[in-house]
Amino acid sequence: MVGFFPEELIYEILARIPAKELLKFKTICKRWRFLISEPRFADLQLRYSKLEDQIIFSFIHCSTSRNYHVEYYSMSIKMQENTMRLHEIQPRSLPNVLTYIKYSCNGMLLLQDHGLWKSNCVTIYNPVTRARKVLPPTPIIHDNSWAIVQDASTGKYKVFGITLKIKCFVFTQGETDWRYLHTLARTVDRGDVLVSELICLENKLYWIARFGGDDEKVCFLYSIDVADEKRITRTEIPFKVECVNYCLSKLNGFLYITNCFFRDRLETWVLKDMINNVWIKCCSISDGGAYIFDSFVVPQDIGDNTVFLDQSRYFTFDEGNLSMNDMKGTKLRTAALKHKQGCLGGKFLFHMDSLINWE
């Protein structure tokens, strides 16, 4: 085949094959093994992987009160058709060590081990190639907010961490240790601050920080430029954000905040004008289900943001079954997991299979 077709055409044909299957194709001939192993080919294959909607999540299986382990699942999902198909991923975590999926970027997972006293072990892991990179211990032992992103200006990958003290640090591909970036501006000096998950949009990381107690809630939207780490912005959010029952997400180039009030009323705001800090309430739902924002999954492509909540889903686990629910609490689809004892762990994240490795 190599003798009859140009190499670039072979590249294009092989790149359309799912990453998991490509590992088998390496054994066909030396030339294919060389092509598939090239970093340039991994980048090309990634473009086609991005066309597939896939969710990744973890499940904590408890055989006894003292014995547990973490299993990983990926899920092919078509939200508008309410279909899902589960695939178990080879576990990498050790018994009785909780390893949570914190972020996903271009097929690589950012994993954090949680022990009794500390949680500063962070690993980059590709479940397809099973390549892993254990990063040096993080500078501060806290349950930080994390992100692994690719710097669009250099092509290098970076891991960002935001602590509860509103300090930011980063580990860059090719470097040997963490770097402190900033102690970010605060409105009040009251110890720890509630920090949301991180969202990457147009080579910037965004997150929400909530200051003050129950009587004084001040929420800000922060951003940091992935390429120019000195560029940080902070704007006050002009509407009420719930203490913990909220979710920051992105869709079609816009940021969204979804609030849950009294466990049964949802409202979603979209940031229509980032420069002037203009937010618009685009949709709301009353008399909904018991929302679980860790498993909250937003639509990936809609033309009308007023149906944002109608197209969003969340997942629950009960009696060995994983259920997909709409925001009214209606079960739309169920799938059986291997075990009946356990619970969902960490976030449900969009993910793609790829051949990209940290090193």
Residues with Cβ within 8 Å of 194's Cβ and at least 6 positions away in sequence, in order, are 164, 209, 210, 243, 244
CB 121 within 8 A of CB 113: yes
Position 90 in a domain: yes
| Domain assignment of residue 297, given as a range | 52-350
Looking at residue 178, its pLDDT comes to 94
Position 325 in a domain: yes
| Shared-domain flag, residues 147 and 284 | yes
d(CA 355, CA 44): 10
Residue count (the chain): 359
Please give the chain's pLDDT, 359 residues, in tens: 455 677 778 878 888 888 888 888 877 788 888 888 888 889 888 888 876 778 998 888 876 666 677 888 888 887 777 788 888 776 555 555 678 899 999 999 999 887 655 567 889 999 899 899 999 988 766 667 899 999 999 999 999 998 877 788 999 999 999 999 877 665 555 556 788 899 999 999 999 988 765 545 678 999 999 999 989 899 999 998 887 788 999 999 999 999 888 777 899 999 999 999 999 999 999 876 666 688 999 988 888 999 999 999 999 998 889 999 998 888 999 988 888 888 888 889 999 899 999 98
Amino acid residing at 120: N
d(CA 26, CA 41): 13
First-to-last alpha carbon distance for the chain, in angstroms, is 30
| Shared-domain flag, residues 194 and 255 | yes
| Shared-domain flag, residues 149 and 292 | yes
d(CA 170, CA 173): 10
Position 136 in a domain: yes
Cα Dmax for the chain: 73
The tens digit of pLDDT for each residue in 67-102 reads: 677 888 888 887 777 788 888 776 555 555 678 899
Looking at residue 134, its pLDDT comes to 92
d(CA 97, CA 78): 32
Domain count, the chain: 2
Give the per-residue SS3 of the chain: CCCCCCHHHHHHHHHCCCHHHHHHHCCCCHHHHHHHHCHHHHHHHHHHHCCCCEEEEEEEEECCCCCEEEEEEEEEEECCCCEEEEEEECCCCCCCCEEEEEEEECCEEEEEEECCCCCCEEEEECCCCCCEEECCCCCCCCCCEEEEEECCCCCCEEEEEECCCCEEEEEECCCCCCEEEEECCCCCCCCCCEECCCEEECCEEEEEEEECCCCCCEEEEEEEECCCCCCEEEEECCCCCCCCCEEEEEECCEEEEEEEECCCEEEEEEEEECCCCEEEEEEEECCCCCCCHHHEECCCCCCCHHHHHHHCEEEEEECCEEEEECCCCCEEEEEECCCCCEEEEEEEEECCCCCCCCC
Angle CA(270)–CA(58)–CA(147) in degrees, nearest 5?
Answer: 50
Nearest to residue 149, comparing CAs of 222, 197, 200?
200
d(CA 203, CA 150): 8
d(CA 349, CA 112): 15
pTM for the whole structure:
0.89
Looking at residue 96, its pLDDT comes to 56
| Shared-domain flag, residues 201 and 310 | yes
Say which residue the tokens 């998950």 belong to.
197
Position 359 in a domain: no
d(CA 201, CA 13): 30
**How is residue 350 written in tokens?**
């969009």
| Shared-domain flag, residues 32 and 83 | no
Looking at residue 41, its pLDDT comes to 86
Taking residue 209's Cβ as centre, other Cβ atoms within 10 Å add up to 23
Position 2 in a domain: no
Residues with Cβ within 8 Å of 38's Cβ and at least 6 positions away in sequence, in order, are none
d(CA 352, CA 19): 9
Nearest to residue 106, comparing CAs of 144, 139, 150?
150
| Shared-domain flag, residues 62 and 116 | yes
d(CA 90, CA 72): 7
Position 358 in a domain: no
| Shared-domain flag, residues 24 and 67 | no
| Shared-domain flag, residues 264 and 195 | yes
| Shared-domain flag, residues 98 and 244 | yes
| Shared-domain flag, residues 134 and 279 | yes
Radius of gyration of the chain from its Cα atoms, rounded to whole angstroms: 21
| Shared-domain flag, residues 282 and 330 | yes
The tens digit of pLDDT for each residue in 155-213 reads: 999 999 988 777 889 999 999 999 998 776 655 555 567 888 999 999 999 999 887 65
By CB neighbour count within 10 A (0-12 exposed, 13-18 middle, 19+ buried), where does 295 fall?
buried
